[in-house]
C-alpha cells in the first residue's frame, strides 16, 4: 500500500512537471519557421564563386595546423531541422533549435579529410555565413559556440530579432553537415589522417579525429533514424524529456565527455528497437528502465549497435576494433560511426554511478525520489569532496605538440592529469573527474585556439573514506621487486623512502607529516606535490578547495579540537573518581557526558586552564590568562532506591543534597576542588570545569503525571530534558564513530548559524541533527567526506527543504519502521493544524524527528518560528550560492571566503554593539562588527568590574584566591539578553552566542497579544525604547560575578532588583526591597545592606535594614535581622534571589515575637495586634515611603542625537544603532 501511494504521488508530480517543461509547439512552430526562413533568405543572398581564404580566421587555421584551405564559395545544398525540436522533446528552459546546413561538395577536395583541412574549411564556411547574417535586419546577433566543447568544430548560434515572451533566449544553432563529402573507407578507425600523429616515427591511428568527420557526414541520416523511432510515440518523447531534466541537474554527467541530449535519444532508440521498452509503458516506466539499463546492463561491455539501415553489418573485427579504441561504443545505424566517441571511461563510470543512485532514490525516498531526481541540482561543488582548479593560462606545455592532433590538446592534458592523480592518490580516491570547459560564448574563432586556456581546468575527487584519506604512510613495492621499486622512486622522487616496517617488511614508502588536527590536508599535500613534480606547476597555479573554511574554527593559530585528548582524559579520571566515592547513601552507578565538547562537535572546546586543576603549577600561569572558563555538563545516575520522595520538588531538593555531598567527598577525600550551586556541582579536573547533574529515572514518570502545572515551576521536566540530552549525546557519539568528518562539519554549521546571529533560533542539538541528516540520508549523493562539501550540503538542506509541509526524520540508528514513520507524520500533521487559516498559529516552522523525540518537542518546539525560518532559509541560500561560486570560479582571496561568515547588520531595526574587550572569550570573535549607517541612540563606557583576562596583580595572589577569581560559565551576553527579553517584549534579539560583538534587534510586528499601555508607548517611541535598552544594559553589566558570589549577584540584578555597590566591591552592596503584597508592609521600600562572607555560599549572607522598620525580629537601631531567620534554613542551594523573594517576605509576613530583637514591637504585637499593625504602617509612611526614581542618565547619556551620531566611531563605547526614522 505504501509503495502504491509513493508511485501515485510520484506519477502525479511527474505529470505536472512535464506540463511545466513542455513547449507549446503550435506557438513555437511559427517562430521557428520565420527564423529559419530569414536565415535561409540571408544565406541565399550570398554571392557564389568568390574565393574564401584563411584570412577570415587566420589564427584558427594556423592553430589547428591546416593548409591548402582556399575554396570557391557555393551555397549550401539545403537545410534540415533536427535535434529535440524535430522529435518534439525540447524541455524548458532550453529554447534552442538545431538547423543542419548541408555543406556543398564543390567546396572540398577529395583528400580534405586529412590534416584538419576539412575542419578549417568548415570554419571558414561558417565565417562567410556569419558575416552575411549580421547584415540582416531580421537577425539580432550571431555568436560562436562549439559542438560538444570540440574547439575544432565551431557552430553558429543565431538570435532572431523576432521574439516571443514565452520562449526567452530563443535561438537557432547552425550545424554544418558533410553528407557524402568523403569516402568512408578513408576514415576507418584504424587509419591515420593526421600525419603528425606518430610514435617513434610510425603513424598511429586517429580514431577520434576520424570520428569527428564521420559524425558530420552522418548527421542527417542519424537525425532521420531518430525521427522515425520517436514518431507517434508520445511516451518515449516524454521519457526523453525526463532524462534530460535528470541529466541537466547533474553537472558531472551532462558534459562533453559523457552525456548529452542526442546520446540520450540514441540510447532510448536502442532500447526501443531492441524491444527493451514498448508502447505499453508510460514515460516514468521508460525512465526507470533506461536508468536500470545504464547502471546494470552487461551489453555495454560489448557495445551497443543500432539496427543498420542497409545490408551492411558490423563485422566481428570491426566490433573488436571499436572496443579497443573507445571505452564506450554506441554504433549508429550506418555502422561506421561510434556516436559515443567522446565519452571517456571515467565519464561513463560517473554515468553508471549516477544511474545507480537514482534507482536507490526511486526505491527509498519519499514520493519515489521525485525531488531528489528532478528538482535537486547536483553541481561539482556539492558532488565532490576535494575540488581543484588549475590555472593554466599561458602554459605552453599544454599545446607543445600542437592544439589538435587525434584529440585536442586539452583532452590530452585532462588524461595526463587524471593518470597522475590516479596513481598518486591510489585507494584514497573513489573517483577522479577532470574537466576542462575551455570554450564559451565569448570566444571568437578569429582569435584562434590559443585563447582557450583562460578557463581553469577543474578536478573533482570523491574520497573513498576518511580513514584512507587521512593515512600518513603509503607503502610501495618491496625492495626485492627492483622494477616496481624503481618505478615507484621515479614517480615519487625525493618523497620515496626505503623503510623497515614492524612486520619485518622492507619496502618503498612515502610519509606525509602533519598535525593531528590537519590530517584533512594530507590529500592536499599529495596533490600539490604530484602536480608540481610532474607538470612543473607552481603553488599559484594550483587552487585546492580544502582548508578555506578552517579560519572560522581557528583559536590562537590552531584548531582547539587538538586538545580534545586532554579533555577526554580529564573526563575519564573524573568518571572514575565519581564511581569510587564512598560515604554517600547511594553510589554513582553511571556517568555520561552531555556537553558537545565531549562529543567533538563544540565549535570551541575549552582549553585546559592552569587554575582549574587539583594543584596549581605556578610555572604554567600565563601572562594573559582567561578569567572565564566554560562548564561542561556531565550527567550521573545513582543506585536504585525505593526511599526517594514522591513529590517532584522534593526529588529536586534531594538531588541537590546529593550533589553537595558528592562535592564534599570529592574535595575532602580526592582533593578535587569543587564549587556548589543550587542545581549542580562544578568540579575542577585537569584544567577543566565539569558541571554535575543528576538524572533520577522516576523524574520522567513524574513529568508525565504532572498536568496543568506552570512550566516554570515544573521542575521534574529537568529529568525529562536530561534524559533526552543523554540520548542525543549517545547517538551523536555513535554517529561520530561512523562518520569522522561529521564533527568538523557540525562545528562549521554551528559557527555559521551563530555568525549570522541565529543562536536564539536553532539549538546546538538541532544543528547536530540537521548535519546528521546530511550524512544519514545523503541521496541523491554519496556520504560527504570533506568539510567544505558537508558544510555546503548543510546549507542547501536548510535552503531547499520543504519545512512547512514535511517533517525532517533523522533516523540515527536506522531503527524506524512504518509505525514510527506514521507516528511522526501524525505528530507533524497535528503541529500544522490551522496552517491554512493563519500561518502565525504555527509555533515552530521546523519539525525535527529523532528516535528519542518523535514529536519534535526537544529542540524545535517553539523555534524557529516562521519569521526566523524565512530569514534562516534566505541566509542559507545566499551562503550556499556564494560557496558554490567560490569553488567553481577563480576567486580565492580570503576576504571572499570570509563573506560566508560575515553577517549584514543593516537587516535589523537596531543594533547593539558590545565592548569587544569585555567579551568573556575575545579570541572567539570572528570579525569585529562595523556599522556605517543608522543613528546612534545611546552609548556608554564598559564596566571596570569585569575583565576577560586576569590582571597581573591577580597572578600574584594565592592559589585559593586565584580559584575564587575564576568565573565558571559566565556569559554576560546571555545575561543581557535575558534582561532585554524580560523587559522589552516588543523586541526580538538576534545574537551570536559563540563570540559575537553585536546583537541585532527587530520589532515584533506580529504579536497578537494585547499589550499594556506602557508597552504601547514604548513601541510608539522607538528611540526612547532604545535609550531604555541602553540604560538597562548598563545596569546589568555593572556586576562582575566571579564564581558563585558574582553569579548570584548577577541573577539578583536580572530579577529587576535595584543594586548599589559599596566601594566597587562584590561583597557589600545595597538592595531596594519592596514590602510583600497583601500585607501591612505593602507599599514600603526598604534599603537593605547585604554582606557576603568569604565562605559564601557555604555560609549565609548578613542582611540588615538601613531604612527603619518596625518588626519584632529586626533591631530598630542597627537594622540587624535575627540570624536564626536565615541561618537555620540556609544551604548552598539557595541564592540571593531566595533571600529577597522568600526569606525576607516570610520574615515580614510571619514575625516571631518569642525570639525578638525589638522587644517593644514583640510585646505590642502580643498585647495589642491592631495597634501593632498601625505602628508598622506609620513607620512605613514615615521612613519607607517610595521615592521618585532619582536615577538619571550619565553625562554620556545626555548628549544630543547629533552628538551621538558624530561620536559614533569611538570603538571603545557600546552603541545601539537603529535604522528607524526618529
Task: Report d(CA 1078, CA 1059) in Å as an integer.
Answer: 25
Q: How far is CA 465 from CA 428, 468, 520, 528, 714, in A?
A: 7, 5, 11, 20, 47
What backbone phi and psi angles, to 5 degrees, belong to 255?
-150, 165
Give the per-residue pLDDT at 922. Answer: 87
Joined grid coordinates for residue 1024: 526612547
Q: Can you tell me which residue has the cell 558530420?
A: 216
Q: State the first-to-last Cα distance of the chain, in angstroms, to the nearest integer.
A: 62
Q: Give the Cα separation of 128 and 43 in Å (integer).
A: 9
Extended beta strands in 562-656, E state? 588-593, 628-629, 631-638
Among 588, 549, 908, smallest CA distance to 741 is for: 549
The ranges of the chain with pLDDT < 70 are: 1-7, 441, 616-623, 677-680, 698-716, 834-841, 890-892, 953-954, 1005-1043, 1054, 1064-1065, 1095, 1098, 1123-1129, 1131-1133, 1187-1222
- DSSP sequence for 284-343: HHHHHHHHHHHHH-THHHH-EEPPPSSS----HHHHHHHHHH-SS-EE-TTSS-BTTTT-
Number of other CB atoms surrounding residue 984 within 10 Å:
21
The predicted pLDDT at position 114 comes to 96
> What structural domains does the chain harbor?
24-181 (3.30.460.10), 397-437+458-472+512-547 (no CATH), 561-736 (3.30.460.10), 739-903 (1.10.1410)
Confidence (pLDDT) at 1041: 34
Torsion of CA 1020, 1024, 1026, 1030, to 10 degrees: -150
Q: In the structure grid, which three cell numbers stand for residue 1059, read together?
A: 543594586
Place of cell 531567620: 1125
Quote the pLDDT of residue 1023: 61
pLDDT at position 706: 41
User: In sequence order, what are the residues at sequence separation of 6 or more whose Cβ sits closer than 8 angstroms to the Cβ of residue 312?
Assistant: 334, 335
Work out the number of other CB atoms within 10 angstroms of the CB of residue 5: 11
How many beta carbons lie within 10 A of that of residue 294, not counting itself?
A: 22
Query: Any idea which residues carry the catalytic annotation?
Result: 1122
Task: Look at residue 454 in the predicted model and tell me its pLDDT.
Answer: 85
pLDDT of res. 834: 64
Q: Is the pTM of this model over 0.75?
A: yes
Amino acid at each position: 500500500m505504501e509503495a502504491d501511494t509513493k508511485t501515485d504521488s510520484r506519477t502525479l508530480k511527474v505529470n505536472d512537471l512535464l506540463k511545466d517543461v513542455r513547449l507549446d509547439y503550435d506557438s513555437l512552430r511559427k517562430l521557428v519557421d520565420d527564423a529559419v526562413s530569414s536565415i535561409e533568405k540571408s544565406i541565399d543572398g550570398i554571392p557564389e564563386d568568390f574565393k574564401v581564404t584563411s584570412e577570415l580566421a587566420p589564427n584558427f587555421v594556423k592553430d589547428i595546423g591546416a593548409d591548402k584551405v582556399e575554396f570557391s564559395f557555393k551555397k549550401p545544398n539545403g537545410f534540415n531541422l533536427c535535434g529535440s525540436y524535430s522529435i518534439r522533446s525540447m524541455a524548458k528552459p532550453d529554447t534552442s533549435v538545431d538547423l543542419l546546413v548541408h555543406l556543398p561538395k564543390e567546396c572540398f577536395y577529395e583528400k580534405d579529410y586529412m590534416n584538419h583541412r576539412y575542419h578549417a574549411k568548415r570554419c571558414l564556411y561558417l565565417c562567410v555565413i556569419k558575416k552575411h547574417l549580421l547584415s540582416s535586419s531580421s537577425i539580432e546577433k550571431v555568436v560562436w559556440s562549439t559542438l560538444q566543447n570540440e574547439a575544432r568544430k565551431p557552430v553558429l548560434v543565431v538570435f532572431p530579432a523576432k521574439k516571443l515572451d514565452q520562449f526567452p533566449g530563443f535561438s537557432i544553432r547552425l550545424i554544418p553537415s558533410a553528407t557524402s563529402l568523403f569516402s568512408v573507407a578513408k576514415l576507418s578507425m584504424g587509419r591515420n589522417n593526421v600525419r603528425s600523429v606518430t610514435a617513434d616515427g610510425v603513424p598511429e591511428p586517429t580514431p577520434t579525429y576520424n570520428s569527428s568527420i564521420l559524425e558530420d557526414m552522418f548527421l542527417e541520416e542519424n537525425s532521420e533514424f531518430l525521427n522515425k523511432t520517436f514518431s507517434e510515440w508520445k511516451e518515449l518523447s516524454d521519457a526523453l524529456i525526463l532524462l534530460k531534466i535528470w541529466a541537466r541537474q547533474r553537472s558531472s554527467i551532462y558534459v562533453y565527455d559523457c552525456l548529452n541530449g542526442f546520446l540520450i535519444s540514441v540510447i532510448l532508440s536502442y532500447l526501443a528497437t531492441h524491444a527493451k521498452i514498448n508502447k505499453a509503458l508510460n514515460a516514468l516506466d521508460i525512465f526507470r528502465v533506461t536508468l536500470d539499463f545504464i547502471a546494470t546492463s552487461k551489453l555495454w561491455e560489448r557495445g551497443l549497435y543500432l539496427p543498420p539501415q542497409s545490408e551492411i553489418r558490423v563485422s566481428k573485427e570491426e566490433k573488436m576494433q571499436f572496443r579497443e579504441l573507445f571505452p564506450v561504443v554506441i554504433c549508429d545505424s550506418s555502422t561506421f560511426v561510434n556516436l559515443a566517441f567522446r565519452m571517456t571511461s571515467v565519464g561513463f563510470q560517473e554515468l553508471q554511478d549516477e544511474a545507480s543512485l537514482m534507482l536507490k532514490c526511486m526505491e527509498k525516498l519519499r514520493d519515489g525520489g521525485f525531488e531528489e531526481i528532478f528538482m535537486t541540482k547536483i553541481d561539482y561543488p556539492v558532488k565532490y569532496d576535494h575540488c581543484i582548479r588549475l590555472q593554466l593560462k599561458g602554459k605552453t606545455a599544454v599545446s607543445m605538440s600542437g592544439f589538435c592532433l587525434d584529440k585536442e590538446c586539452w583532452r590530452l592534458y585532462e588524461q595526463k592529469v587524471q593518470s597522475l592523480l590516479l596513481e598518486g592518490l591510489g585507494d584514497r580516491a573513489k573517483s577522479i573527474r577532470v574537466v576542462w570547459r575551455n570554450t564559451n560564448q565569448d570566444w571568437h574563432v578569429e582569435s584562434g585556439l590559443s585563447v582557450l586556456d583562460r578557463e581553469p581546468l577543474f578536478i573533482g575527487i570523491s574520497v573513498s573514506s576518511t580513514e584512507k584519506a587521512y593515512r600518513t604512510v603509503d607503502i610501495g613495492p618491496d625492495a626485492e621487486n627492483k622494477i616496481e621499486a624503481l618505478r615507484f622512486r621515479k614517480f615519487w622522487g625525493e618523497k620515496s623512502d626505503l623503510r623497515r616496517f614492524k612486520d619485518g617488511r622492507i619496502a618503498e614508502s612515502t610519509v606525509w607529516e602533519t598535525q593531528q588536527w590537519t590530517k584533512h590536508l594530507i590529500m592536499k599535500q599529495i596533490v600539490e606535490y604530484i602536480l608540481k613534480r610532474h607538470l612543473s606547476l607552481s603553488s599559484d597555479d594550483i587552487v585546492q578547495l580544502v582548508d578555506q573554511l578552517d579560519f572560522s574554527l581557528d583559536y590562537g593559530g590552531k584548531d582547539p579540537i587538538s586538545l580534545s585528548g586532554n579533555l577526554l582524559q580529564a573526563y575519564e579520571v573524573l568518571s572514575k573518581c565519581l564511581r569510587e566515592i564512598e560515604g554517600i547513601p547511594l553510589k554513582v552507578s553511571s556517568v555520561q557526558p552531555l556537553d558537545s565538547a565531549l562529543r567533538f562537535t563544540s565549535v570551541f572546546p575549552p582549553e585546559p586552564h592552569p587554575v582549574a586543576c587539583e594543584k596549581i603549577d605556578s610555572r604554567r600561569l600565563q601572562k594573559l590568562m582567561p578569567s572565564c572558563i566554560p562548564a561542561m555538563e556531565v550527567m550521573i545516575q545513582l543506585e536504585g532506591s525505593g526511599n526517594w520522595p514522591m513529590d517532584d520538588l522534593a526529588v529536586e531538593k534531594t538531588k541537590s543534597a546529593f550533589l553537595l555531598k558528592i562535592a564534599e567527598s570529592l574535595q575532602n577525600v580526592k582533593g578535587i576542588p569543587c564549587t556548589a550551586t543550587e542545581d549542580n556541582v562544578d568540579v575542577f579536573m585537569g584544567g577543566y570545569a565539569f558541571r554535575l547533574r543528576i538524572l533520577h529515572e522516576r523524574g520522567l514518570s513524574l513529568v508525565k503525571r504532572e498536568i496543568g502545572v506552570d512550566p516554570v515551576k515544573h521542575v521534574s521536566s529537568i529529568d525529562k530534558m536530561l534524559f533526552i540530552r543523554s540520548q542525543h549525546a549517545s547517538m551523536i557519539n555513535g554517529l561520530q564513530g561512523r562518520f569522522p568528518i561529521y564533527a568538523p562539519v557540525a562545528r562549521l554549521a554551528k559557527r555559521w548559524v551563530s555568525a549570522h546571529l541565529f543562536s536564539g533560533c536553532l539549538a546546538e542539538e538541532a544543528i547536530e541533527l540537521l548535519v546528521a541528516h546530511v550524512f544519514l540520508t545523503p541521496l541523491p549523493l554519496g556520504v560527504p567526506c570533506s568539510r567544505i562539501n558537508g558544510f555546503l550540503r548543510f546549507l542547501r538542506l536548510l535552503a531547499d527543504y520543504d519545512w512547512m509541509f514535511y517533517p525532517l526524520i533523522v533516523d540515527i540508528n536506522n531503527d524506524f519502521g512504518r509505525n514510527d514513520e506514521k507516528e511522526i507524520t501524525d505528530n507533524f500533521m497535528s503541529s500544522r493544524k490551522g496552517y491554512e487559516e493563519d500561518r502565525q498559529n504555527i509555533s515552530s516552522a521546523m519539525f525535527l524527528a529523532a528516535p528519542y523525540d518523535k514529536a519534535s518537542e526537544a529542540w524545535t518546539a517553539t523555534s524557529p518560528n516562521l519569521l526566523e525560518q524565512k530569514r534562516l532559509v534566505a541566509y542559507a541560500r545566499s551562503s550556499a550560492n556564494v560557496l558554490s561560486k567560490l569553488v567553481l570560479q577563480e576567486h580565492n582571496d580570503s576576504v571572499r571566503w570570509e563573506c560566508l561568515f560575515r553577517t549584514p547588520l543593516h537587516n535589523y531595526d537596531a543594533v547593539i554593539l558590545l565592548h569587544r574587550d569585555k567579551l568573556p572569550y575575545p579570541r572567539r570573535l570572528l570579525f569585529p562588527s562595523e556599522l556605517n549607517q543608522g543613528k546612534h541612540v545611546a552609548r556608554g563606557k564598559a564596566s571596570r568590574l569585569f575583565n576577560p583576562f586576569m590582571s597581573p596583580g591577580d597572578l600574584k595572589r594565592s592559589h585559593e584566591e586565584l580559584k575564587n577569581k575564576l568565573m565558571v560559565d559566565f556569559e554576560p551576553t546571555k545575561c543581557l539578553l535575558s534582561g532585554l527579553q524580560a523587559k522589552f517584549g516588543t523586541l526580538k534579539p538576534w545574537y551570536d552566542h559563540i563570540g559575537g560583538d553585536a546583537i541585532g534587534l527587530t520589532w515584533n510586528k506580529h504579536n497578537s497579544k494585547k499589550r499594556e499601555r506602557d508597552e504601547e508607548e514604548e513601541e510608539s517611541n522607538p528611540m526612547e525604547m532604545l535609550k531604555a535598552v541602553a540604560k538597562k544594559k548598563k545596569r546589568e553589566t555593572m556586576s562582575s560575578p566571579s564564581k558563585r558570589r558574582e553569579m548570584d549577584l548577577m541573577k539578583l540584578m536580572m530579577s529587576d532588583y535595584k543594586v548599589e555597590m559599596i566601594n566597587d566591591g562584590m561583597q557589600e552592596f545595597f538592595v531596594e526591597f519592596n514590602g510583600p503584597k497583601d500585607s501591612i508592609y505593602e507599599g514600603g521600600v526598604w534599603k537593605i545592606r547585604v554582606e557576603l562572607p568569604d565562605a559564601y555560599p557555604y555560609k549565609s549572607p548578613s542582611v540588615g535594614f538601613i531604612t527603619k522598620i518596625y518588626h519584632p525580629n529586626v533591631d530598630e537601631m542597627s537594622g540587624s535581622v535575627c540570624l536564626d531567620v536565615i541561618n537555620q534554613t540556609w544551604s548552598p542551594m539557595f541564592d540571593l534571589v531566595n533571600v529577597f523573594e522568600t526569606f525576607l517576605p516570610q520574615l515580614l509576613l510571619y514575625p516571631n515575637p518569642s525570639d525578638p530583637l525589638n522587644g517593644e514591637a514583640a510585646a505590642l504585637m502580643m498585647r495589642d495586634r491592631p495597634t501593632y499593625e498601625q505602628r508598622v504602617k506609620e513607620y512605613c509612611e514615615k521612613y519607607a515611603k517610595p521615592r521618585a526614581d532619582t536615577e538619571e542618565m550619565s553625562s554620556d547619556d545626555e548628549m544630543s542625537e547629533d552628538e551621538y551620531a558624530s561620536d559614533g566611531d569611538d570603538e571603545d563605547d557600546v552603541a545601539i544603532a537603529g535604522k528607524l526614522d526618529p
